[in-house]
Chain A
């Protein structure tokens, strides 16, 4: 950055030249401070990437026999095989959650923005924001104490009995309910407030004239929503969904508490064969890990970072309306 302070001031529409002659020292110091803070952000992020790569290196360069389950006895299968099931489980759980949460999120957002009475809708918006801030460990406890047993007793057996021919629903239902289906449901409940909050905001921003024009042409409320609100809010819904996906990918405690993990690739929802997620695996293994195991976990964290980075990039594009 070779531009000096005065130059910057000149270019800002707010600054002008007025400030220049009075107190150069104060301005230099303050603009330097704020620029320094900006640079701290860049340094921190570079630091995050650097430290992760640095600490992941030993795992990435070690011989494959040392990595993964049984690695300390030389029976490991290598980092790629280790991170493979974890990455699969991460993406699979997040996608399932997204599949459940998006339709409901949009419906609730519509309810709050266009169906509920005006006074109620404000309060509801506030409640939804609040729900987004409930700690994930609470959702995890709820999932393991309330949702998992309820679903395993009443819902999963029904699916397994009547729809068992669908591969996803096949297999023996895990009696504790600590299966992928429960994880997906809890993740869906967790990301629902995020998707709802963002969708609601864009739905509320639909130009009033578009809505009134539709109504004036005799459209029913649903037709008005279809021709005026939904097209306008599409990019907002997509970026909300992407944000939700990002949170579901990185969600740790709920998954760590609920899932009974196995080291497998499996699409089955109700069985004991559930691929773990990267984040939950780190939380479960890290406190007991030493040496190369720690490096391996950090390397999986790096993979998670890459996945979420990709999703965030997509979400930024979606917000600008560049994809879909």
Chain B
């Protein structure tokens, strides 16, 4: 058999396959559903997670891993027992912050924050659930807050506990619709009923996963303590100059804090928590890898089911076309020609399903990326993977029906009606 004849046979088989796909569109669609669902799931999840990864990476790298915080409770509490345990710890205070600033040699900048939420009003306009944070002046450097209008309060102004604030752009939108940043400077807004003068407006931070990061009012730390009560635990923020000294600075801070809490070597609990973005990233990666594996499981099940459906339909097709197979054999088709014809048909069916799955997967990812606000990162690799997987499914589910067809005797095949 020459190359051209193999090619002719291949073309004939492909033509046949496409024709039988076309002839019964509903049946084809139902046959392919399992494969479409499987491939869609993989493609959508891979694409979405790629987008999330890049969002998370860019959101966190703004600060980089040069900043850690020291606080009474860790950022993430996973159980009630832990919550009760952490609640019994001593509050972190301004004195702790001063101690770290004084004693930690690897630490570059230290800042303090006292965090809460509040209701912000201007006239009739109101904004609820605003993040109200009392910040030391150094926090603007540590958190990389850049102002587009006005200025940050001075140390002096801060210490005097003045009712002054720096706001995020959402506050302008909600309280001064249509107004520019410059024009709101000097205006007096009410935070939980107390008047505050707007002294500065931050550049927008944008959204992460649909959550705005611009709905805030920053007030001087001392003012915050007055507002939320001086007894509340504060958060100490420490920045190192370069990430190489990050771990050293954490260790130094830890031992300073343990000393202040009078902890011995044998004590399990530090009595405070040191957190950095690594913790967030760790949680994020845990969560996404969970999603990843769950999806692969779902996809695997639907591909297996899809493969069984394809095999079933191919067997029906072989039975239906017994006469045709017999005729082909009578006019000279060999076993392998029939085998190839049905294999190609099975593979063509599943690859069409795979391609549809790739497109619906990308489509799904596109709409989710619009809804949640992360970039759509389409990887050709995942598309290739989807189509290859469906190729393999087609091959596996097609082999038995194709083999059955190839074994039919031309006489028996032609006798059936």
* A, B assembled together: no
